[in-house]
Structure formats: C-alpha cells, structure tokens
Copies of this chain bind each other. A is one copy, B any other.
Amino acid sequence: MQNVQQPKKRKLSDEIIAEDEDYQRDPEHPRNLIPEICRLLYSQEAMTGSGGAISMRRNDKIYVAPSGVQKERLQPEDMFVINDDGDTLKLPLNGKICRMSQCTPLFLTIYRLRGSECVIHSHSKRAVLATIISSGNEFRISDLQMIKGIYKRTENRNYRFGEEVVIPIIENTPTDPELQENLVKAMENYPDTCCVLIRRHGLYIWGTTWQQAKLMYECYEYLFDIAIQLKQLGMN
C-alpha cells in the first residue's frame, strides 16, 4: 500500500474548477459519495487498516480516493481527479500530501472494458474467506433469492433464481498493478461477471451507476456470508 502513483501532468481549466464547485450543493457528487460509502464499508470492517478504495466517473472525470489513509476520515476535498488515460486533472483540494490509490490502473482498466461509472475495491473478510473456501478458481453459488440482485451482463438482465452465479478468483500478486493482466483475463473469460475476487486479498465490483455498484456489492457480500455460514454449519 506504500507505492507511489505519480501524477503525469496537471491541467487546471476554469471549466474544471466550475464543475467541481458543484459538489457542495450535490450530495450525490462523487466527492461526497466516495467518502460516504467508504465510511459505510469501514463500519462493516471491509475498509479498515486503510485497505480498499472506491472510484467513480462523472462525465469525463474520474474521481479516485487517496491511498494509505484512514478511509472513514476521507473528505470530499481529498479526491484525485483523473481522465481515462490516468492523467491527473486535479490534486486533492486541501494541499495534503498523499498518493492516489494504488488500484488506479485497475480502476481505469475496468472503466475501459465495461463502461462502468463506479468501481469498489475492498478487502472484505467475507470475500477473502470466500476465496479460501473455494478450492478452484471460481466461487459458485445458486438457489438464493439475492442472486436476483446481480446483473448478468451478456443477457442484459439480472440473474434468475434457478441460475448459478460464477465469480472468477485470480491469484494475488506482490503489488496491485501486477493484478492487471489476470484481472483482464478474468473479465474476458467471464463476460457476465460484475465482480472479480482476488485470493486472500479482496474483490473488485463495478456497476453502470454508483447505485448499481453499491447494491451489487451488498448482494455479493450477502452471498459470500451465506456460503461461509453454510460451510460452518457443514451444509450447502
């Protein structure tokens, strides 16, 4: 979590400044939503110890949380703003010295491959346990009402009760950027999925809107939790 993601260059136009001032009037601006959802995930112990990050897109700007900080204390002014190429458009407004989330290359990849507007990366303990109780490279679950909350991309609809949700698990790497290659492969091999699990590390979940990403995050967490509890009960 200590690597430095250097901003490549810096562009500050009047347009950017004006657009950005919106966030004080708009509670659903990424600058407000990212800290709010981080606090929520922190309270679930899925974003403690500075682990995890959230990114949201708004038009051609991508907002990314800083790295290595207490996620429950994030402020709207702490966000980095970048473009699709990863160029820094705005540094944190408060002049704090910090680094962009190390996950940024993965966020950009997901935006590019799926046209999402929100990506959540967390070190959720349920996700980690789900990768350990799954012997192979997939977490599979079915026959639970809550899978109806998961979007099945290739059919442009949500899963049905009788269907099986299959989530690819990729192996962890020494640093987050090295995950990229296997993340791309997993997304190509599992065109339906909105989630990739990383063994003994956590997950990436994305959605067309921030609402969809957050709701699916909750559904996936629910499914992992049921799977873990059934395993504890010796059932499935």
Contacts and interface: CB of A to CB of B under 8 A. Distances in A.
Interface of A: 1-2, 45, 48-51, 69-70, 123, 125, 128-129, 132-133, 143-146, 148-149, 157-158, 160-162, 172-174, 198, 200-202, 211, 214-216, 218-219, 221-222, 225-226, 228-233, 235
Given A70-B211, A145-B201, A229 B51 contact: no
A30 to B, nearest CB: 17
Given A123-B146, A200-B143, A70 B214 contact: yes
7 A-B pairs with least C-beta separation: A145-B201, A48-B218, A49-B219, A49-B218, A49-B149, A144-B200, A50-B215
A161 B157 contact: no
A169 to B, nearest CB: 13
Contact of A215 (B49, B132, B143): B49
Among A69, A157, A216, A222, find the residue whose CB has the most chain B CB atoms closer than 10 A: A222
